[in-house]
Structure 1
């Protein structure tokens, strides 16, 4: 009689690859639920059910909903940073520094109008206290803005932009070009979904950034 094949049971913690895959699946699911329902309406139980993971599995990785939301936002920002660095590398040898800055400014506008970005910025605005708790321990250092500041400094060094403080200029650029359409989208507006309208707005905002509104 043939002896049954013994099945080896895995004892202890799962391999690192399995753990990473599980964490990514949880974050993917949470991102979809937060974006669709908002922060308050999304529960850890819903996340567990939607991604087919036990609550204990989720809580071992993310002790609270704020921690899970923080992980979702961190990954979103990491993705934006990776995209930005790819964009900078792509345009590194094209045009002068001011043209490269213009390209990145338009890229920032486009990124901030992406549906997932609008959704999470809306949550950040409506759940300011919770969003702040999720970001505890983070420094004020922002690598995304650091990359933009670097391109501003290139334009200054080449005599294409004036001003002494490159950080102030970079922040002014974002305020001048991104905030209006981004806030419009967070309030449910769809005007800038139209590429022609978005491009027209950008061209006007870029000229105002460069030359101001004075006579």
Structure 2
């Protein structure tokens, strides 16, 4: 791909450039690992200068963080499309949709590969550990938001929405771990059935939250 000339980029060009950089980076990370991939290699793969790459992503950790954020944004976009009108939602349906869509999205081959890379390299690379912590915090915040919303709507107080969200997230991650390890199928019907049981068990303890 030819290098881009100088001058101010239009918004659509900026978005195209970002997508180009993230795609090239993800391919490089998957092929060589996070630690072994250099920013220079990503720039070459994307067909841009290192100056252009660093202007958009000042560090390799920032570049990887953008890939992870994109993964989450796509999953949450699917969640938002599935939950329906606010007046028709319940805590149970919201949690089911959230868990189903995020597990199904994370179970796609390219996302499984990314998450396996994180599991492999994060223990020895602090910047990757920070990225995964930020992703976890965002997930818990989303769940805690649902719990707080419906605590007020349903008149069922919750003493600690974040602690309840952590418990729910941990349980759903257990399901995803089984899928990632090949112990359980990622077939949509099976995921939905397992999620329904998780949500039912979680809500059974609602008065204790």
For normalisation by structure 1, the TM-score amounts to 0.69
1:198 equivalent in alignment to 2:191:
yes
Question: What is the 5 A alignment of 1:30-179?
Answer: 30-88=25-83, 90-128=84-122, 129-132=126-129, 142=138, 144-159=139-154, 163-176=158-171, 178-179=172-173
CA contact (8 A) 2:75 2:101 kept: no
Residue 7 of structure 2: SS of its match in structure 1?
A: coil
**Structure 2 equivalent of residue 6 of structure 1:** none
Structure 1 counterpart SS, 2:35: coil
**Larger Rg, first or second structure (1 or 2):** 1
Task: Name the structure 1 match of 2:7.
Answer: 14
Q: Deviations over 1:96-136 (max 9, x none)?
A: 44333333333333233233433333233222223146689
RMSD between superposed Cα atoms in Å: 3.5
Match of 2:177 in 1: 183
How far is 1:190 from its partner? 6.2
Aligned-partner SS, 2:87:
coil
Q: 1:28 to 1:175 in 2, by over 3 A?
A: same
Say whether the 8 Å CA contact 1:91–1:100 is kept in structure 2. no
1:207 and 2:200 are equivalent in the alignment: yes
Answer whether contact 2:148 2:158 (CA < 8 A) is retained.
Answer: no
Q: Give 1:24's aligned residue.
A: 19
d(CA) in 2 for partners of 1:43, 1:61? 15
Contiguous gaps of at least 5 residues in structure 2: none
3-state DSSP of counterpart to 2:113? helix
Q: How many residues matched?
A: 196
- Alpha-carbon distance in 2 for matches of 1:140, 1:190: 23
C-alpha displacement at 1:162, in angstroms? 6.1
Structure 1 CA distance for aligned equivalents of residues 56 and 183 of structure 2: 37
